[in-house]
Amino acid sequence: MNRTDSPTYRSLNTYTKLMRAAESVTSRVHRVLAAPKLTISQFGVLEALYHKGPLCQKDIAAKILKSTGNITLVVDNLEKIGLVRRERDSEDRRFLTIHLTESGTKLIIRVFADVEAAIVAEMASLTESEQELLGNLCKKLGTRGGRIPT
């Protein structure tokens, strides 16, 4: 058997292509975050709050796949520049909910539209059926063929 025919080679080659494509597309899409001086994590927090409404930091972390410690720092920085505010629960003072400010809402509406346009432009290199297939393959890979990852 030729080395390039081996399951190991095919798996490694496919993984490399997947990671390079993901990094390349992500890099191009996230260039639109440079002008408003947002990090990818800051954009993720603002986007989660915009689409889901006020959330606690734990829920934000789960939504954007970051640690709660990382989210604390990101929220601190967003609060310093007036894009979010923390609100303590009146019944449980330990519980904080993060809200978008008016400035934060205006910014995420504008920036999200730019990110959305960049994503659409990136995906335009694939046909509709290729996009559908890629989405299904990524979902299958992400869930290990429907099995819960261990």
CATH no., domain 3-142:
1.10.10.10
Report the candidate in 28, 43, 131, 37 with the shortest Cα–Cα distance to residue 51. Answer: 43
Whole-structure pTM value:
0.79
pLDDT 10s digits, 84-127: 999 987 777 778 899 999 999 999 999 999 999 999 999 999 99
Domain-wise residue ranges, the chain: 3-142
Give the Cα separation of 48 and 108 in Å (integer): 10
Give the Cα separation of 59 and 97 in Å (integer): 10
Enumerate the β-bridge partners of residue 86.
98
Q: Please tell me the predicted confidence (pLDDT) of residue 102.
A: 97
Contacts of 94 (CB under 8 A, 6+ apart): none
In this prediction, residues 53-63 reach a mean pLDDT of 92
Give the Cα separation of 100 and 17 in Å (integer): 37
